[in-house]
Amino acid sequence: MPLLTIRDLKVSYSVRGLFRNRSETTAVDGVSLFVGEHEALGLVGESGSGKSTLGRAALLLIKPRQGSIVFDGVDMLDAADHRNTSAIRKFRREAQIVFQDPYGSLNPRMKVGRIIADPLYVHGIKDRRLVKDKVLKLLDLVGLPASAYDKYPFSFSGGQRQRISIARALSIGPRFIVADEPVSSLDISIQAQLLNLFREIQEKEGVSYLFISHDLRTVAFIAQRIAVMYLGRIMELAPKTELITRPLHPYTRLLLSSVPSKDRHPSEQREQADVPVTGCVFYPRCASALDICRETSPRLREVSPGHEVACFLYENK
């Protein structure tokens, strides 16, 4: 049984326009996926595709408009609606997040030891000696010296701050972590170090990841399966090697071909287009679009074992 199962999840925001009129925009539109025990599922897509919204909704940090989020066999939305505090508390202990910005996600007025220890205190561990021993072990696990315990976040670089964030997420022994663009704001050399750390943690601790990034190469280093997201919908989902060697959806192929080169400026990689009112959301940018794509939205369907795609080009295959 999967550790986390998301079914038909929709998340909408109310947006205030001119003259104080309000409209609703859908950030996640009917997404279904699962994350297995000890698995890293990658979620990739351009900025604005709804990746972070999906990750936060999976942790109940954002309330979905509809759908279900089943964690370890328990429907967490149902538990929240019925104020099942024991189920929610267990979920908060076993599902954590590492945010993108290591500068904004740490309290600058708290020492590192207290930042990492706080989740332990919140979940009822009061023995200060036990807590300190746990924090020191976590600092060692993420590659920071014990002296970091009594320092403030401003004493550290961006990469070191993200290590502190990872230690905080691991403090209460979670089974599932949403890593929301955790290396995108860091230098390339620091990114490599942290990606190796994420892999090492998964091997040692056995945690599952929903690893979010706009960079397919980053996701491919961590994940066993990859889901490709565009404008709130999953376009393609497949095992990592198959997705990279045999991409089916035109959008996936676009992402794979958009690595900057000497002859092509990054801003020239992708053309932008208006969001269609009906039909496939990728239709305005798709060179392979069919007539049906303009009027009907394709459903995500399995075309080979473990490989799903939402595209009419493969509807009869």
Query: For every one of its 317 residues, what pLDDT tens digit does the chain have, with 9 covering 90 and above?
Result: 799 999 999 999 887 766 666 778 899 999 999 999 999 999 999 999 999 999 999 999 999 999 999 999 999 999 999 999 999 999 999 999 999 988 899 999 999 999 999 999 999 998 999 999 999 999 999 999 999 999 999 999 999 999 999 999 999 999 999 999 999 888 888 999 999 999 999 999 999 999 999 999 999 999 999 999 999 999 999 999 999 999 999 999 999 987 554 444 444 344 444 566 689 999 999 999 999 999 999 999 999 999 999 999 998 76
Residue 87, domain extent = 4-249
Strand partners, 44: 213, 228
Token couple for 139: 């600092």
Q: What is the pLDDT of residue 1?
A: 78
How far is C-alpha 277 from the chain's CA centre? 27
Q: What is the pLDDT of residue 276?
A: 62
pTM of the model: 0.91
Residue 147 belongs to what H/E stretch?
Answer: none
Q: What is the pLDDT of residue 262?
A: 42
Q: What is the pLDDT of residue 269?
A: 41
Q: What is the DSSP letter of 253?
A: H
Instruction: Kindly state whether residue 151 falls inside one of the protein's structural domains.
Output: yes
Instruction: Kindly state whether residue 196 falls inside one of the protein's structural domains.
Output: yes
Pairing of strands 74-75, 66-71: antiparallel
Instruction: Kindly state whether residue 309 falls inside one of the protein's structural domains.
Output: no
Instruction: Kindly state whether residue 43 falls inside one of the protein's structural domains.
Output: yes
Instruction: Kindly state whether residue 259 falls inside one of the protein's structural domains.
Output: no
Instruction: Kindly state whether residue 222 falls inside one of the protein's structural domains.
Output: yes
Please state the φ and ψ torsions of residue 190, each to the nearest 5 degrees.
-70, -35
Q: What is the pLDDT of residue 261?
A: 45
Positive or negative, the Cα torsion across 29, 32, 38, 43? negative
Q: What is the pLDDT of residue 15?
A: 76
Instruction: Kindly state whether residue 242 falls inside one of the protein's structural domains.
Output: yes
Picking from 168, 166, 172, 171, the residue whose alpha carbon sits closest to that of residue 199 is 166
CATH at 220: 3.40.50.300
Instruction: Kindly state whether residue 147 falls inside one of the protein's structural domains.
Output: yes
Buried b (16+ CB within 10 A) or exposed e, 115-144: bbbbbbeeeeeeeeeebeebbbebbebbbb
Q: State the first-to-last Cα distance of the chain, in angstroms, to the nearest integer.
A: 28
Q: What is the pLDDT of residue 76?
A: 97
Token couple for 261: 């080169």
Buried b (16+ CB within 10 A) or exposed e, 154-163: eebebbbbbb
**What's the half-sphere exposure (Cβ side, CA atoms, 13 Å) at 293?**
18
Q: DSSP per residue over 159-224, as a string?
A: HHHHHHHHHHHHTT--SEEEEESTTTTS-HHHHHHHHHHHHHHHHHH--EEEEEES-HHHHHHH-S
Q: How far is CA 153 from CA 120, 156, 181, 293, 305, in A?
A: 19, 6, 20, 50, 46
Sequence-ordered list of residues with C-beta below 8 angstroms from that of 185, at least 6 positions apart, any chain: 100, 101, 102, 158
Our count of domains for the chain comes to: 1
Distance CA 317, CA 311 (A): 11
Positive or negative, the Cα torsion across 136, 142, 145, 147? negative
Distance CA 294, CA 278 (A): 7
